[in-house]
Amino acid sequence: VAEGNKLMSEDKGKLPDWPVVESSFLGCSASFEVAECILFGAPFDSTSSFKPGSRFGPAVMRQDSQNLEIYSPYQERELAAHKVIDIGDLDLPAGNAAKSLEIIVTTCCRMLNAGKKPVMLGGEHLVTLGALKACRERWPDLAVIHLDAHADLRDDYLGERLSHATVMRRVWELVGDGGIWQLGIRSGTEQEFAFARAGHVRMHPFDVAAAGQVIAEIGSRPVYLTVDLDILDPSCFPGTGTPEAGGVNFNDLLQAVMKFGGLHIIAADLVELAPHYDLAGISTAAALKLLREILIML
């Protein structure tokens, strides 16, 4: 965690009782000891092939979360009643994907060893590889639910094996055939779709209608849920680096994600919000609402 954040939280107890606004996401400030979920940012976007800017996702989400209610009318529960701590953003070296992933792996291992559920905010999709690697070490039977517009199954992108465009191929190398369920996919190369058809991953293109089937197939396996927010249609989520027309609407995504609440989810992430491409902030608002529901669900 950034040194600055650490110092701030240690010093907090010594400050007088000023009427300041919490800088953490929705005031998620359970102590580490009681927290069940640990929220943190992974502000890395160095492999973005089109429009960078997802490194600003976590900071803008935190800031705009002040406008979000802590009560969910969808699940009829309040976030404040849940044990979540927001520890801030990891200090990741821009331009060094391997080193950044190492830091994410180490951090997530520490969370898992303490019996906590990591909830990571990207950042580009490559950051998922770090968190997932940590989870796979602890849960050998790990299943992955991947919500995205893009298959991300390339073996390399312009010669790079560590890229937001190859992340699910690297994940497949970790979990193997039958370990990945993809929903909402509507973009990729012919080879990526052929890779899926060959049975390496279970791909349900275009929408999230197969959520029920996915749940039945996964059963009691531990699950990592990764949400690339560009699964949403660009009309309700323009703030992202590689927008793809023909996406899912917010309510359909929310309903599908809440169904996954019945599964044994051990970690989750939301990636690819690049807030500055959407000056009206509707993309950040969508990401925040989905995050609130996921945290309550976990």
Residues that bind Mn ion (CB under 5 A): 148-150, 228, 230
What is the closest distance, in whole angstroms, from the C-beta atom of residue 129 to Mn ion in the complex? 14
**137: part of which helix (H) or strand (E)?**
helix 127-138
Cis peptide before 159 (omega within 30 of 0): no
Nearer to Mn ion by Cβ, of 77 and 276: the residue is 276
**What's the CA gap between 47 and 49, in Å, rounded?**
6
Query: CB of residue 187 vs Mn ion: minimum separation in angstroms?
Result: 8
Task: Point out which residues pair with 265 in neighbouring strands.
Answer: 223
Contact call for residues 10 and 66 (beta carbons, < 8 A): no
Name the minimum Å distance from CB 25 to Mn ion. 23
CA atoms within 13 A on the CB side of 185: 24
Q: Which residue is nearest to Mn ion (CB)?
A: 150
Using alpha carbons, list the distances in angstroms from residue 211 to 141, 146, 152, 185, 279.
Answer: 20, 11, 20, 13, 32
Q: Which is nearer to Mn ion, 45 or 148 (CB)?
A: 148
Please identify, using beta-carbon distances, which residue of 61 and 271 lies nearer to Mn ion.
271
Our CB check for Mn ion shows the closer of 72 and 187 to be 187
> Minimum CB separation from Mn ion for residue 280, in Å?
21
